[in-house]
Structure 1
Amino acid sequence: MLRGERASTQARPGQRRRGAVPARDRARERGRDRGRRRGGGVKRALVLAALGCLVAVPAGAHPVPIGRYAQIPYGVSPAHPHPTEGGSAARTGRLRGAVAEREPTRIWERNLRFRRPRGPTVAADGTLYVGTMGGLTALAPDGAERWSARLGAVHAAPSLAPSDDVVVVTRGGLVALVSPEGVTRRTADLGAPARGSPLVLDDGSVVVGTVDRRVHRLD
């Protein structure tokens, strides 16, 4: 090459420049890049979809811890001597109270109009709520009947709610909320016979198990 001449970087016709990649190879490489980007986008979309399933909108029910021991909040006033079956939400059958110094004596007794009494559940004012084959009966502290609500066969002890209403379940799968005056406020059909006494949670919702191995929560 003569001094002062510029080196040409252009290749002659039919001659490939050193280090250059043929057009066909470049097109193939671009296609691979697009495939990688497209595949990566699909993977990212699948990951996001999976995360969307995991981070779903929570249901109306509050989560309950699962394990060997789980404490469920119970919002019924502690002033009620016997608010539910078993004495408390834990169904321990134990109650806190003063023990009589003398042997208890019978003050009164009463025969109900319907058989198979369930309960009683005792409120703070001394009212006794008893479930029977005919429904729910309220008795005064002296044994006088205050009212009776026809609901069907109540097969478990009633439960008191934070509002002082009474919750009962029937053999036919009916859940009823009854006021202290005997007015049926609300009812719900579980679709199957209930098992055990209803459990009233801190927010007033009711948890009931049925014979078909399901647990229902009613607000």
Structure 2
Amino acid sequence: MAERRAKGLCMFCDEVFTPGHQLKHKRVRLYVVELEGEEEEETAVVDVNEGEATAEPYILVNAINGTPHFQTMRVTGYHGRKPLHILIDSGSTHNFIDEHVVKKIGCRLEAMKPMAVAVDGNRVFAIAICRQFTWQLHSTTYAADCMVLPLGFCNVVLGIQWLSTLGPILWDFQQLMMEFKVEGRRHGLRGATPHKLKSADSKQMSRILAQGS
């Protein structure tokens, strides 16, 4: 995996990994398992989402240290009346929520087996998940599962796990504009400009990573 990542290759094929490439592997395959019984043979059919079942969770380091990146767009959402700094990130595989935010909001967490999340060659471990966390963007409510991590410079990261549920997306990375449809209605988002974002030095980055190790 380290060798393929160093070459910029996809973990599941020999193509170069690009934003949204994971969607090519989100195909449902059927595996037939034949079980031998005393009287007759039974056949069990299991649906496996190959992309999500084997892919290691990955989050861009920019989502943690707050530096701008061409694969991301920052917007403001709300959980009730509380504002949320949301990073829409096409370079991260899953959705994540900051551990301090869930405590302030009072979200119900579900313990999970420690899962390694790759961060630019390092790893942090997620041990809890917030099921069907809800937030609002322009009066529209969304919900998604979010793994809990110490994010530092944003409250929520929405990765391919959420983006893949929106269907076709028109995304202008240069103008930081995004359009998609939800239940037949067109929605548009405009991201914050880079000069409004903060960055972290090496000491801050090490402290953030240490909190999640």
Band the TM-score falls in, shorter-chain normalisation: under 0.3
Structure number having the greater strand percentage = 2
Q: Which has the higher contact order (CA 8 A, sep 6+)?
A: 2
The TM-score with structure 1 as length reference comes to 0.21
Structure number having the greater helix percentage = 2
